[in-house]
A and B are shown apart, each in its own frame.
Chain A
Amino acid sequence: MFDGAPRAEFLGGVRAELPLLLGVVPFGLIFGVLGLAAGLPGWAVVLSSSLIFAGSSQVVFAQLWGGATPPPVMVATVGVVNLRHLLYSAAVTEYLRELPWRWKLLLAYLLTDEAFAAAIGRLRDGPATAHRHWFLCGTGFTLWSGWQLSTLAGVLLGTAIPERWSLDFSIALTFLALLVLSVHRRSDAWAAIAAAAVVLPALALPHKLGLLVAAGVGIAVGMFMRRFDREKP
């Protein structure tokens, strides 16, 4: 056995990530199709997958671009959509503390929802060997490859998918599934309901600020409702 060797850790990460690709590949395909539909050129849709590399924020980026949003609002909105990655960064930091900078930069770039979800169990509960960061590298690399290829395939398929299939709805369904997974307490649900209710009138706000305002209201409502949660998480 190569127990704890870089190669074994990396392949372990690849194996842990593969099942998650089942959900990621359709999302990438749909994003490719949607990005074109929103008015982005094909190269920009593909480039966003390596440059931004965060699925839901790329969808938001395409939608805001299609709506001629001022660039500062686009950057702020993408930032808020990806703010949850702060939690992942905080969670993995103690396992990466001894690594050189090039490793920290690489693993930070690869730190997505799915790569984190598949790797945190190994990092937290597995043996504390010197090469365990290769596991996160394996999950991150696998997700990265699947995301690039599926986005590219979506752009190439692009116009071949008829509009009456309503494939764009699967983006909403992906968000819905992720939302259910992120609701652990009553106050989480209130944060989501408040944001969803506020966003509809807030869409009329100038400069496409609606999403930011709605997210802010949702967070505030969640923080307020926190005191009524029955058990501490």
Chain B
Amino acid sequence: MSTTALLLTMAACGLVTFLIRLSFIAFGRYLPDDPRIEAFLGYVPPAILGALIGPEIFMLGGNLNATPDNPRLWAALVALLVARLTRSVLPTIAAGMAALWAIQAWLA
């Protein structure tokens, strides 16, 4: 795709993101106040994050690897444990990366 297409697509993504953030701040009293919408929105973060994580762990170089010899699977489990214990982003990243490097060094 051309530079123009890239710029336009990026600008459209930025506009959509901005309008989402502006929505209630600017138009709150015109938007429906429905607990079902709130419940729906509550499931957006876990669902989208789950969908983002799946390929990052199980797709290696374009191939599906959901077997125990996938080092990212074990590193992710270590990170999951640390995330549940600390509920903090930095220790999770540190533990997950350390686990991945350790497993990769062990396999090499």
Contacts and interface: CB of A to CB of B under 8 A. Distances in A.
Contacts of B28: 90, 93, 97
Q: Chain A's interface: helix, strand, loop or mixed, by majority?
A: helix
A23 B92 CA distance: 10
A179 to B, nearest CB: 4
Given A84-B44, A104-B22, A170 B54 contact: no
A2 B18 CA distance: 32
A26 B97 CA distance: 13
B90 A22 contact: yes
B13 A108 contact: no
Category for how many chain A residues contact B: 35 or more
Contacts of A78: 13, 16-17
A126 B29 CA distance: 24
A152 interface: no
Interface string B48-59: 111111111111
Nearest to A222: B43
Interface residues of B, number: 65
B92 A218 contact: no
B45 A182 contact: yes
A63 to B, nearest CB: 9
B61 to A, nearest CB: 11
Contacts of A181: 83, 87
Interface string B33-73: 00000111111111111111111111100001010000010
Contacts, number: 258
A174 interface: yes
A202 B88 CA distance: 30
B4 to A, nearest CB: 11
A80 interface: yes
Given A71-B9, A169-B56, A195 B92 contact: no
A107 interface: yes
A199 B24 CA distance: 31
Given A219-B40, A223-B43, A89 B48 contact: no
Interface in A166-192: 166, 168-183, 187-189, 191-192
Contact of A191 (B13, B50, B55, B92): B50
Interface stretch (A8-16, A52-60, A143-151, A154-162): A52-60
Given A23-B89, A71-B5, A104-B26, A173 B96 contact: yes
A122 interface: no
Contact of A89 (B1, B16, B22): B22
A68 to B, nearest CB: 7
Contacts of B23: 86, 89-90
Interface of B: 1, 3, 5-14, 16-18, 20-26, 28, 38-59, 64, 66, 72, 75-76, 79-80, 83-84, 87-90, 92-93, 96-97, 100-101, 104
Please give me the 3 A-B residue pairs with the lowest Cβ-Cβ distance, nearest first. A218-B47, A192-B50, A172-B56
Given A52-B14, A192-B47, A196-B53, 10 more contacts: A40-B6, A44-B6, A81-B48, A86-B20, A87-B41, A92-B24, A170-B97, A173-B79, A174-B93, A214-B51
